Structure formats: C-alpha cells, structure tokens
Amino acid sequence: MKILVDADACPVVRIVEKIAKEQEIPVLLLCDTNHVLQSDYSEIKVIGAGADAVDFALVNQCSKGDIVVTQDYGVAAMALGKGAYCIHQSGKWYTNDNIDAMLMERHMAKKARRTNSRHHLKGPSKRSEEDDRRFQESFEKLILMINAQPL
C-alpha cells in the first residue's frame, strides 16, 4: 500500500505525511510545475503543466489497495475503478456506492453555471482546525479499516 496525494493546493498534505510516517506507509505527492512542494518524508513528482496532467499521472501510478487523497471526483472515480481507496480533503470517503451521485451533482452544477451566468456557487469556507481534525480522524479510520481486511 502507498498513499498518493493530488497535492496541487491540497491543505492536508502535512496531516497525511504525519500519519503515513507513523504507520510507515510510503507517500507520493503529485503536483504540476506551478506548485513548489518540499517534504522530508514523501516522494515528490512534478508533472508537466497541462490540463489534467497531474490527474492522469496519479491514476496511472495508483494500484489496487492504495489510498488516493483528492478533491477531484473524476480522479476518485478512476482510482476506485483501479481498486484504490479514495478520500476527500474533507474526510469524506469516495466509494463505489456514492461516486455516481457525486459525479452527477458535479455535472448538474457545471450545467447550471453554463446556462445561467448569474448562477454562481459559493466557494468553500476558510479551512478550520475542526476541518483538519475531521480529516485526520477519517483518514486514520480508513487506514485501520484497510489494515483489518484479510489479504
């Protein structure tokens, strides 16, 4: 098992690294050339600029049983298709049971934005310590659940 992080502007990289280091799980941070990442623990892969380049590189690198940290529903859907576990920076787990509904919501929101220029979705609120705590608890539970499964 390894952990792959869609690290472009990801607010939970340090939490992931802390837990991964404690559990001795390797971490791969993927970002594009517009972001500068440094880590004492993780391997960093800088992917050339281009629409979705990091997304496709991440999916190509992930394998069955890996954990993918992303806020992109499309990346999560592709990773789930490869047998990976996926978690959003909010702590919500992407699963085969909820990904279709999430993709449909994303599609409907995009469609609404295109048809009505006055329809703006409110962006996310500022990240809080509570958000970080919620992610950490969920991430730790995900690792425990994976480790408890028979081989």
Per-block mean pLDDT, blocks of 10 residues, the chain (151 long): 94 97 97 89 90 92 97 93 97 90 74 66 79 98 93 64
Q: What is the pLDDT of residue 133?
A: 98
**Cα–Cα separations (whole angstroms), residue 6 to 47, 71, 74, 97, 111:** 11, 8, 12, 22, 25
Distant-in-sequence, close-in-space partners of 143: CB < 8 Å, separation ≥ 6? 19, 23, 25, 67
pTM assigned to the model: 0.88
Q: Based on the structure, what is the number of domains in the chain?
A: 1
pLDDT of residue 120: 60
What residues does 94 pair with on adjacent strands?
Answer: 86
Q: Tell me, what CATH number does 142's domain have? A: 3.40.50
Predicted pLDDT of residue 107: 62
Strands 67-69, 3-6: parallel, antiparallel or unpaired by DSSP?
A: parallel
- Identify the domain containing residue 35 by its residue range: 3-148
The pLDDT value given to residue 102: 79
pLDDT number for residue 122: 65
Residue whose structure tokens are 């972001």: 35
Distances (CA, A) of 76 to 42, 90, 104: 21, 14, 14
Plot region of 91 (φ>0 → left; ψ -120 to 50 → alpha; else → beta): left
